[in-house]
Amino acid sequence: MKGPSLLSDELLRHLMAVGQVDVVVGLPTLNHAATVGGVVRAAHAAFAAGLKRERTVLLNVDGGSTDGTADAVREASLVAAETLVAAQPLRTVHGISAPYHGLPGKGAALRTLFAAAELLDARAFVLLDPDVTSVTPEWVGGLARPVLREGFDYVAPVFSRAPGEGPLVTQLARPLVRAAYGRRVLEPLASELGCSVRYAAHCLTQDVWSAPFVNYGIDVWLTTTALAGGFRCAQAALGPRRQAPRAQAPSLPELLRQVVGALFACLERHQAHWVPREGAEAVETRGEPGRAEAADPPDPAPLAEAFRAGVRDLAPVLGGILEPATLEGVKAAARDEVPAFPDALWVATVVDFAAAFHGGRIHRDHLLGSLVPLYLGRVAWHLAATTGADPAGAEEAREGLCLEFERAKPELVRRWNAAGGR
């Protein structure tokens, strides 16, 4: 209990001055000068319009930005303040901007935000991503209201997606989380959320904050912890999500390593909860998800090529991960121009990889790296299958994949337990 404090003196003084609030909007930043202004303005607009009666504070914690993020936040707050005066809100609107302790990264930032929300005895906490350019004031209200008014502990966003958009979510994260944890959360990887302080306090007591995946896998951990911890979960439709391109964005192999690594690591952490669960319950949703218009669908050919080359070159490695039947299926798929990677084969692949991850037979970085070409093959097949299809058809296809994952749950459990007992 008496280790180094999460809260710097400066931050603590700010918190003391603000005192008890109803809603804390948390904004972690690290070199986000280009995009943070829009998010700040949207948050302040939300305070003035949708959360007029509530005591609110926008809490920006920064990991040591060198590109003028702090100035951008300040400027945006001033602009917002002028707009606010015109809107004549009932209360003083607070904004705090302070550095946080610890190594810069989402883990330390989030931990500080949760601690601050708990100290301020907030009724609801909303987390925003400073990279997003499509934030509207309704995002804050949408994520906060189910917590404030209906007593939910965790609110995940639902974004309007174009068909074919976000395959890592639609083809892997969403169906896997749904099948394993038994709840139909549409965006398990989202970096936005709304939650109660009860949930935040629970997260603070978990021993995840020094785990290796805390800086890139914290989003999926937050979602799965809420599902596994028996918290009341809901979803809020927020519209489309557009993110600014980042100079230091990870490559696809790195992205897969982070995301899938975190997904599997969370499966290990929560295995006592998900292994015995059956079925998949719906999660209450507020608002209409809507649909985004697709840009030109990407060409699946390079993906298919990468898949074929990967299967050919990585055959010796894949042999140590996939079951013989799955490997045969993958090799057969690689022989076609457009890889035939149907749901059953993809699900079997994911199950094999999950079991291999848990069994620890092959170094985890190598394991996750080997998944990349298979993932590309699946995406190629998925794009080819859904290009030109109507939205209902695309939705049906996604639902079909989810059901296939659910059907494969007993096999996943069996393989998981066998790998763990080794």
Partner 1 sequence: MSTDPHWYKDAVFYELHVKAYCDSTGDGIGDFEGLLTKLDHLQELGVDCVWLLPMYPSPFRDDGYDISDYLSIHPDYGSLADFRSFLAAAHDRGMKVITELVLNHTSDQHAWFQAARSSPADPKRDYYVWSDSDEKYQGVRIIFRDTERSNWAWDPVSKAHYWHRFFSHQPDLNYDNPAVREEIWQVMRHWLDQGVDGFRVDAVPYLIEREGTSCENLPETHEVLRFLRRRLDEAYEGKVLLAEANMWPEDVRPYFGDGDEFHMAFHFPIMPRMFMALRLEDRKPLVEIIERTPPIPEGCQWGIFLRNHDELTLEMVTDEERDYMYEEYARDKVARINLGIRRRLAPLLDGDRRRVELMNALLMSLPGSPIVYYGDEIGMGDNVYLGDRNGVRTPMQWSGGWNAGFSTADPERLFLPLISNAVYGYQAVNVESQRRSESSLLRWMQRLIRVRKSTRVFSRGTIEFLKPRNHRVLAYVRAHEGEAALVVNNLAGTAQAVELDLPALAGAIPIEMFGRSLFPRITEAPYVLTLGPYDFYWFRLRWL
Partner 2 sequence: MADLILETLAEAWTKYLGTIRAFLPRVLATVSLVLAGWLLGLLLGFVTRKVLGWVRFDAAAERTGAAELLRRAELPPAHRLAGATVFWVVFLGFVLSGIDALGFRGVQGLMADFTRFVPRLVVAFVVLVVGLLVSNFAWRATLIAAVNAKLAPARVVAGTVRLLLVVLTVTMTLEQIGVARAVVLTAFAIAFGSVMLAIAIAVGVGASGLARRLLEEHLASRDAKGPEGLSHL
- The contact set with partner 1 (CB under 8 A) reads 1-3, 5-7, 9, 12-13, 15-16, 19-20, 115, 118-121
Query: Which of partner 2, partner 1, none is residue 420 near (CB under 5 to 8 Å by kind)?
Result: none
Query: Which of partner 2, partner 1, none is residue 124 near (CB under 5 to 8 Å by kind)?
Result: none
Q: How far apart are CA 401 and CA 407, in angstroms?
A: 10
| Residue with smaller CB distance to partner 1, 15 or 374 | 15
Give me the DSSP letters along 356-404.
HHHHT-S-HHHHHHHHHHHHHHHHHHHHHHHTT--HHHHHHHHHHHHHH
Q: Which residue of 366, 388, 400, 407 would you call a contact of partner 2, by CB under 8 A?
A: 366
Selection from 319, 98, 333, 364 nearest residue 213 by Cα: 364
Q: How far apart are CA 416 and CA 180, in angstroms?
A: 12
SS3 string of 274-312?
A: HCCCCCCECCEEECCCCCCCCCCCCCCHHHHHHHHHHHH
| Residue with smaller CB distance to partner 1, 7 or 45 | 7
Distances (CA, A) of 286 to 124, 187, 345: 16, 14, 34
Query: Which of partner 1, partner 2, none is residue 397 near (CB under 5 to 8 Å by kind)?
Result: none
Query: Which of partner 2, partner 1, none is residue 119 near (CB under 5 to 8 Å by kind)?
Result: partner 1
Could you give the count of Cα atoms lying within 13 Å of 244 in the half-sphere of its Cβ?
Answer: 18
Strand partners, 234: 155, 284
| Residue with smaller CB distance to partner 2, 66 or 88 | 66
Q: Which residue of 372, 384, 402, 408 would you call a contact of partner 2, by CB under 8 A?
A: 372
Instruction: Specify the DSSP class assigned to residue 188.
Output: T
Q: Which residue of 52, 149, 335, 361 would you call a contact of partner 2, by CB under 8 A?
A: 361
**Binding of partner 2 by 75 (CB under 8 A):** no
Query: Which of partner 1, partner 2, none is residue 246 near (CB under 5 to 8 Å by kind)?
Result: partner 2
**Binding of partner 2 by 369 (CB under 8 A):** yes
| Residue with smaller CB distance to partner 2, 6 or 330 | 330
Q: How far apart are CA 327 and CA 251, in angstroms?
A: 26
Between the two ends of the chain, the Cα-to-Cα distance in Å is: 37
Q: How far is the CB of 109 from partner 1 (least distance, A)?
A: 15
* Tokens representing residue 79 in the block: 């602009």
Contact positions vs partner 2 (CB under 8 A): 165-169, 189, 243, 245-247, 249, 251-253, 255, 259, 298-299, 302-303, 306, 309-310, 313-314, 317, 320, 360-363, 365-366, 369-370, 372-373, 379, 422
